[in-house]
A and B are shown apart, each in its own frame.
Chain A
């Protein structure tokens, strides 16, 4: 306990570093999954292809991916871009399917009605289909958020600063409190971000809270 109290600034710093790796990956996987998920939803063959291929990404072990990606991207192995790219790929593995399913779950009657009123395909997507897909998208993004926060810790093995570094450092130096603090903070960060995503999803869908007057 004393170690934790003595190292609060370090823990805070590691938490922020963790967040700067996790947050961009979560946002990027959502942004990239929207067009990919739309293509998967729109064209039957591509759906099979995209959902299977991106799903397979998740089967790649994270450590080798962290090592291989710099060779492809031309970045250094301890470059944070490297980690964000790898985490984005894992996020995509879950989100592409989520987006595709969420769009497919929008009631066909509503899409038809929008078309009949004179919405073109582009406006119909942004103003009708995507907003109505938000509840299902939020559910998918919550899983991605928690999984990304947890996966960031693996980058600690490479020596990249994050909460994961507390595990490796604590293990090498024999400080159980440091390992414990890393675990607890990872879980707390995951829960806080998960709650934020859930709240954001709620804020964006006021019509779901409206009750019969």
Chain B
């Protein structure tokens, strides 16, 4: 037996605890690598521009596989900068960004971008290419055969709810909502694990926006991509996020929580104001009226009705 005298002594309670902790950490690390765990890792990341402006300040963030993380904050909080560091559209001045354990700084940016889906505000479609050509972009850049790229593009059109007859139209011939759908289809065409979405529904009217959000939630329930979603709209963040990261000007994380945690325990007044809690908009009350029970905000403005049965809060996206 290896456990001789001095060794036995060393095996005190404290040391045992240390061993256990290390083993647990190792176990978490191994399972993390095998079954998800962070796929995108921001390690002490900062971005400072030559004029001294800090867009991102010492951000430490670990994004889980298959989850939708929403980066939310007002303009100038560095949320888009953080997002664009993942596909090296922006390089950090300090720190590292790891994707699947690899420092993106060591990756070929062009190849990396073909592996990461990207949906941008105002669709970012190529105006001189038709819907089908736009959706085929990344598969063709990755060198897939033409018929395979076309097959994938047609599949994606169906997937995002676009009629096949729109395939030969140019982006300018589509409505804002349709353009965004094409943007999502394009980002999904090469079937990337990671999907970056930079205020993708920012330029469409509220009705279409809600429709697109529901559509994305439906797609995500099915596809389970690792989504990083940037928005300045807290309602959108609450609707789509498995996890919400609130940022403030200067690129600092104020709170990193699940939607329920965020609403129940806002970290400070900044988050409370950003949520719309400060003005009573989210403090809901149930009032009895002659017509029945109505949910109102603190000012008595009716918002909705009470559902029939009590349901436990489910984490994640609405189905």
Contact = CB atoms under 8 A, between A and B. Distances in A.
Interface string B88-130: 0100000000000000000000111110001010101111110
A205 B128 CA distance: 7
B107 to A, nearest CB: 12
A5 interface: no
Interface in A107-141: 109-110, 112-120, 123, 128, 131-132
A113 B111 contact: no
Summarize A's interface: helix, strand, loop or mixed. Answer: helix
Interface in B113-168: 113-114, 118, 120, 122, 124-129, 137-138, 141-142
B169 A115 contact: no
Given A123-B141, A207-B128, A117 B173 contact: no
B87 interface: yes
B128 A116 contact: no
Interface in A195-213: 205-207, 210-213
> Which residue, of A110, A117, A132, has the highest number of chain B Cβ atoms within 10 A?
A117
A211 B124 contact: no
A212 B113 contact: no
Given A115-B89, A116-B120, A210 B113 contact: no
Given A207-B170, A207-B172, A128 B126 contact: yes
B180 to A, nearest CB: 13
A118 B125 contact: no
Contacts of A113: 120, 124-126
A107 to B, nearest CB: 8
B220 to A, nearest CB: 21
Contacts of A128: 126, 128
B79 interface: no
Interface residue tally on A, bucketed by range = 20 to 34
A110 B173 contact: no
Given A207-B170, A212-B172, A119 B124 contact: no
Nearest to A204: B128
Contact of B186 (A112, A117, A131): A117
Contacts of A114: 126
A213 B174 CA distance: 8
Interface of B: 84, 87, 89, 110-114, 118, 120, 122, 124-129, 137-138, 141-142, 169-170, 172-173, 186
